[in-house]
Structures are given as C-alpha cells and as structure tokens.
Structure 1
Amino acid sequence: MASPASNQRLTLSYLLWLGGFFGFSGLHRLYNGKIISGLIWFFTLGLLGVGQFVDVFLVPGMTEDHELRKLRAAYGNDLYNVLNQPITTTQTQRSLTREEKMVKLLRAAKQNAGHLSVTQAVLETGLGFEEAETLLSDMARSGYVAIDNHPQSGVVIYRFDEIAV
C-alpha cells in the first residue's frame, strides 16, 4: 500500500504533467529528479507532445523511482533489509547504542543456554551479520566470551560461560 506522501507526490506529478498543455512540458520529470530529460521535455515541448503523452503512463513509475532513490540515499545499499525487516518501536525512536546491542546478544545467549552462533545472534537480535560478528569478536577479545566450534557442524560458537545454564 502506498504511503500518503507517495500519493501526494503522484498527484502533484500529474498536476505538473498537465502543465504540458500550457507550454510547460517536463515539469513532472524535473519534480521527480529526472533533470536532463525534464530539461529536454521543457525545451522541445515534450518531444513535440509525443513524449508528454507517453509520460501519462510513466508518471507512477517515476514517482516510485524517486521514492526509492530517497530511501537508498537515506539507508545506502542496505535498502532491501530496511524494507523487509519489521520496524520496532526502538528503531522508530532512535538507534541502539553499542552497549544495548551487546545486552541483546547476552539475552540471546541466555536463551540458547549460553552458546550463540553468529546466525543465531542475527535471528534473535535483528542485527546484521557483520555487526553481530564484530560485536561478538570484540566481546571475545575483552574476555567476556570464549570461542569454540560446534562438535558436529564446526560452526563457530561464542560461549558465555557466566550465563551458561
């Protein structure tokens, strides 16, 4: 379902598209970040009206592309993960501190009898693989965690001896 902001952008894009009937072709393209083609449309009257007419079908895609570019600018290449992970109240209010993330790892380890693999850490805390592994390695370097391998699979296991049940 489209957000209200997306619907407003689409409505305004169509209103700007109508500007082509008054000699202001390409405003909808400029508004959606398509600067070069917007200028071409503006100076050629929408490619003599043909491009302007075709754009009536392309405007929804332009607005969606613009929204995705804004999200990518805000979240970088991790856009897929951002769009597919559930939003928690903590994420909407602020980012977790390093210590809060470590506490989440400790709680995850406690739920797993004091043992935690990187994959388990990711599943239980919502952190990314690289971040979870970095935090666990830092905890191991500080002496809070021991590193072992699972006897059957060989997977690296971080062992929290103080909370092992």
Structure 2
Amino acid sequence: MARAKTETAYMLWTLGFLGICGLHRFYTGQVVLGIVYLCTFGLFGFGQLIDLVLVPGMVKNRNDYLRRQYLTEWGEEGLVMPVPMERNLVAAQGVAQLQTDSMQQLLRVAYANGGKLSKAQVALHTGLSTDRVDALIHEALRCGYADVTNDPDSGAVRYVFDL
C-alpha cells in the first residue's frame, strides 16, 4: 500500500457531514473503529469532532506501520530479489577483475620506475589506451595511492606513488 496522506484522511473525515462517518479510520487502518463510527454516526458526532485533532497522528501511525512492514521484508543484506537462473553474472565480475588487474599493473610499473610516472610512461609500460590510463590514474589519486607533483627540471606533471 502506498503512503497514507493527511490531506486524503481529512477529505474522508469531511464525508462525516454527509452522514458517512469513519472512512478516515478505514483509510488509516483502524477497521474496527471505522465500523463503529459508521454504525454510530461517528460516535454521535463527538468522536468525529475529536478525530479532527487526531487525524495527523493516525496517518503518522499508519505510515510507521507500513514502513515497519516493508522493512521486515528486507533482510540484513537488503531487499532480497530473485535472480533469473539463465542470467550470466560473470561479465560483471570480469569488469571488476579487469579494473583490479589494471591497478595492479599500474602499481607494478610505478614500483619498477622508482614510484614516479607520467601518463605517457603508464601508457607505454601497460599498453592501455589513453582514456583507460586517465581513468586509472584518477582512481589511484582518489584511493590515495598517488600524488600529483611537477618535475623540477621540465615542469611536467608526474604522479608519485607511495610504494
């Protein structure tokens, strides 16, 4: 069920002026009291007037109940959704493995070159495309594996790896 709204509950409450009392109670999940209100014209009008103040709390309680109900369907690992058996998930694992292998390759090249590399050196030693080299270096910077410096002689950008 979707979230209960206070405005909708008040609209159902106003139907009490037409003699149809208690619909707001049904809406907020209080079926037994809804039947009592419907049969007694809102507890002879007094209950209907009291509910004018209680409607926001009833809606909040209903939404809390619905939230708890849906959260119990979630396990500790999140919402459990069935995966079709014919689906092949190896491709996603291959991409993650490729990224790990590329990072390992970058770190090995950095270690072999004393921890200082340019983008051109990374592309030359790893054989990766320039776009992939850029992404890999940005990932290394983001993870804290490398820092950006400038070569004191030429001013070229160098990536210093802490190995």
Q: TM-score, normalised by structure 2?
A: 0.43
Higher helix share: 1
Q: TM-score, normalised by structure 1?
A: 0.43
If you compute each CA radius of gyration, which structure gives the higher value, 1 or 2? 2
